[in-house]
Copies of this chain bind each other. A is one copy, B any other.
Amino acid sequence: MSKFAVMGHGVVGSGTVELWYKNEKLIKEKQGIDLELGYILDIREFPGLPYSDRFTKDINDILNDDDVKVVAEVMGGVNPAYDFVKKCLERGKSVCTSNKELVAKKGAELIACAKAHNCSFLFEASTGGAIPIIRPMHTCLAGNEITAIEGILNGTTNYILTQMIENGTDMQTALTEAQQKGYAERDPSADIEGHDACRKICILSSLAFGRHVYPEWVHTEGITGIAPEDTKTAAANGYAVKLIGSVKRCDNGKILPMVAPRFVPLTSQLGHVTDVFNAIMVHGNGFDEVMFYGKGAGKLPTASAVLGDIIDCAKASGTITACTWDDSPDDSFIEKYTDVPVSMYIRCEDVSEKEIAELFGSVKFLASDNNTVAFITPEKKESEIDALCASLGDKVKNRIRVL
């Protein structure tokens, strides 16, 4: 019999314990494993639970118990999670985490530490919540070269944008609504400024391309600049505005990770992903494209992913090599986004369609009312579009890249 431990009894941690006890019998039968919940680490007291006897405040209880083979880290934040995870790995205990910040900032180091101690560091729950994405990428899709990934990786911003698209709500009202429903934090900056999605695209990029992509290397824009007239123009022309975390392999072999709002055509499955749902589209040289869709957050959905990892670690012997990547000495493998061709939605005022056509070439005009002209440019290097926009000065009111 081996044991697992859960570090942190917050939303995800308590969900992991709840889901384990709910499905324990089924899991053991189906997976053929003999596993028990040994410890729950939390500094708080949780009396009166059927498993109150499992709580400890001392990490050493977990570290010193040789029967503990797997530890779930669901505390969040880098400290003290990083220290605790490292100590577990150094004792040869595999760690499963839902902590995207930890993976995005310290992934390469913790993966190397796990390898050195013949155990695994898994993180299915860190990206896309309940959605199976990390493991399918390194197992089912393992026969392919991954060429690109595009995902709706943050439920809060997708909820806000859905409200703006479907009900014409303005950004601030939609955000307040999201906060009232518990979808957004009191300080929503990590979500609406794109940092949360950035951590997730770092993780997916690192896994797909084999080298750690650090958050500070990723050009990241949030959704705060989007106006209801942008989402309205998009909808009227067969697009939805979505915050997209993306990465692609460029022709020169470099990769371009980015987080930014995008005009997503409704002919793409991603265009129909609404509310707090997440979805991730992956492109590869054999399977072409596959998409994974589901709940990107929440107590039991995230717990589902953590538990899947715990089960995998309990069955595996040694490091699960395929779910690893190397550290990167520098960012020279990251392409400069301004050097890459892109098609752009632009909304201008006080300028004629004729002037726009002369400047940008064969654009697609979307809406021209009063003194507003909205259009989509042909594909050009982003730096060239920048230069053209600069020549228009403050007549340019907004710009959103097209997916």
Contact with B along A289-302 (1 / 0, CB 8 A): 11111110010110
In the bound complex, do residue A19 and residue B293 qualify as a contact, i.e. CB atoms below 8 Å apart? no
Task: Tell me the nearest residue of chain B to A306, going by C-beta.
Answer: B143
Complexed CA–CA distance, A135 and B322 (Å) = 15
Known contacts A30-B322, A141-B132, A142-B31; is A294 also within 8 Å of B288 by CB?
yes
Complexed CA–CA distance, A311 and B322 (Å) = 11
Q: Which of these, B140, B210, B290, B307, contacts A143 with CB under 8 Å?
A: B307
Known contacts A130-B288, A288-B300; is A140 also within 8 Å of B144 by CB?
no
Decide yes or no whether A304 CB sits under 8 A from chain B.
yes
Decide yes or no whether A360 CB sits under 8 A from chain B.
no
Task: Tell me the nearest residue of chain B to A305, going by C-beta.
Answer: B140
In the bound complex, do residue A124 and residue B142 qualify as a contact, i.e. CB atoms below 8 Å apart? no
In the bound complex, do residue A286 and residue B300 qualify as a contact, i.e. CB atoms below 8 Å apart? yes
Q: A288 contacts which chain B residues (CB < 8 A)?
A: 130, 294-295, 298, 300-301
In the bound complex, do residue B293 and residue A291 qualify as a contact, i.e. CB atoms below 8 Å apart? yes
Contact with B along A241-281 (1 / 0, CB 8 A): 00000000000000000000000000001001100000000
Q: Tell me which residues from 1 to 56 in chain A have a Cβ below 8 Å from any Cβ of chain B.
A: 15, 19-20, 22-23, 26-27, 30-32
Contact with B along A156-195 (1 / 0, CB 8 A): 0000000000000000000000000000000000000000
Distance in Å from the Cβ of A272 to the closest Cβ of chain B? 5
Distance in Å from the Cβ of A328 to the closest Cβ of chain B? 16
Of A135, A136, A145, the most chain B CB neighbours within 10 A belong to: A136
In the bound complex, do residue A22 and residue B285 qualify as a contact, i.e. CB atoms below 8 Å apart? yes
Complexed CA–CA distance, A300 and B322 (Å) = 22
Task: Tell me the nearest residue of chain B to A22, going by C-beta.
Answer: B285
Complexed CA–CA distance, A33 and B27 (Å) = 29
Decide yes or no whether A198 CB sits under 8 A from chain B.
no
Known contacts A293-B291, A303-B143, A321-B32; is A286 also within 8 Å of B19 by CB?
yes
Q: A315 contacts which chain B residues (CB < 8 A)?
A: 322
In the bound complex, do residue B210 and residue A30 qualify as a contact, i.e. CB atoms below 8 Å apart? yes
Q: A31 contacts which chain B residues (CB < 8 A)?
A: 142, 321-322
Q: A290 contacts which chain B residues (CB < 8 A)?
A: 130-132, 292-295
Q: Tell me which residues from 108 to 166 in chain A have a Cβ below 8 Å from any Cβ of chain B.
A: 124, 130-132, 135-136, 138-145
- Residues on A close to B: CB < 8 A? 15, 19-20, 22-23, 26-27, 30-32, 124, 130-132, 135-136, 138-145, 210, 269, 272-273, 284-295, 298, 300-301, 303-308, 310-312, 315, 321-322
27 contacting pairs across A/B (C-beta < 8 A): A19-B144, A23-B285, A31-B322, A32-B321, A124-B140, A130-B287, A130-B288, A130-B290, A131-B290, A132-B132, A132-B292, A135-B136, A139-B308, A139-B311, A140-B308, A141-B308, A142-B311, A142-B312, A143-B304, A269-B273, A284-B304, A286-B300, A286-B304, A287-B300, A288-B298, A292-B292, A292-B293
What 3 A-B pairs come out closest when comparing CB atoms? A143-B307, A132-B140, A290-B294
